[in-house]
Amino acid sequence: MTSTERLRFGVDLVTFFHPDFWDVKDYDGIIALSRNEPRVFWDKILDAVQASGVTGVELTFSPFNWQDATKTYGSVEAFAAELSRRGLTLASGFFAELEAAGDFTEADAQAAIIEKAEKYAEFLKACGSDIMVIGAPLRQTLGAQPVRFYDFEQARKIADFLNRLGATLYAKGIRLALHTEAHSIFAAARDVDLLMLLTDPAYVHMCPDTAHIIVAGSDPLQVVERHHERVIIAHWKDALGPMPADTPIDEHIHDRHRPYFCGFGLGRVDWPGWTRLLRDRGYDGWAILELDAAADPLSDIANGLKLVRQALLPIYR
């Protein structure tokens, strides 16, 4: 098997969440366009993905989610056909409901999350994907009152739910992969170690995001070295360095992340080391070249893919 067969490259659609790409003034303009001209909106995205040279798509939050895609093209089958005629594959789908759920330790909240995840799983399976990437709950701003400690007992409760969610998805042919979202309970090295310890490896897998791990103050190579057997998909992304420990964690945290992300190969990620690690651990699967809200996503993705092919794939061989 060649390196290009072992590694398949895709992009998360959050990459297209920049006003410049849509020739609008702000993010509200993007939302308005997606609602007013949904077919133009989605065709432009899929055409850009095809033109960039990657072959996989990861769906994410609205207006880039599975409900929007289904509504735009009329059915799940029609959306799958639009991917297929462009030579694209649905690599995975990002499930953001857990992060937004607040206190999901209540039985009713958990039941609602599982119901949403089951519907999403059916869509993914129908489109030929078997991976659901899920964001973990956010941490609390340092020093906030009343203090909520992310200790063993709290982690155990969350792990119990993730185990049950993973088993539910497995029954539908879908694998659950936790995403290392900076400022969540699953990004810094200690937090990843704790949740990996407490979850069942048969049902809970991992989606490391190199940039988010760096923003969280940890080393993605060290984190993945310890848990490589859990990795079923990975986000390849670069970052300038860690964010301050006292960064406010609120509804704007994802906007605060963006200045710390940078073009592929321009940040702190040791890409040759990362490639050797995945090679030596026998990783086969999707590499999602994610760029948060890129102004020129087509060029950025194409340039990143060029760097990968010229500098990194020879290592993987």
250-268: average pLDDT: 92
Domain 7-315: which topology? TIM Barrel (3.20.20)
Q: What whole-number distance in Å separates Cα of residue 34 and Cα of residue 247?
A: 32
pLDDT for 311: 93
Q: What whole-number distance in Å separates Cα of residue 96 and Cα of residue 61?
A: 7
248-254: average pLDDT: 93
pLDDT 10s digits, 198-235? 999 999 999 999 999 999 999 999 999 999 999 999 99
Query: Which range is least confidently modeled, 106-115, 138-147, 153-162, 202-211?
Result: 106-115
The structural domains of the chain, with segments of one domain joined by +, span: 7-315
Task: Tell me the pTM.
Answer: 0.96
Distances (CA, A) of 73 to 76, 79, 192: 8, 6, 38
pLDDT 10s digits, 163-194? 999 999 999 999 999 999 999 999 999 999 99
Q: What whole-number distance in Å separates Cα of residue 52 and Cα of residue 189?
A: 33
Mean pLDDT of the chain: 94
Q: What whole-number distance in Å separates Cα of residue 285 and Cα of residue 191?
A: 25
pLDDT 10s digits, 13-62? 999 999 999 999 999 999 999 999 999 999 999 999 999 999 999 999 99
Confidence of residue 103 (pLDDT cuts 50, 70, 90): low
pLDDT for 47: 97
Q: Which two tokens stand for residue 144?
A: 């906030």
Confidence of residue 105 (pLDDT cuts 50, 70, 90): confident
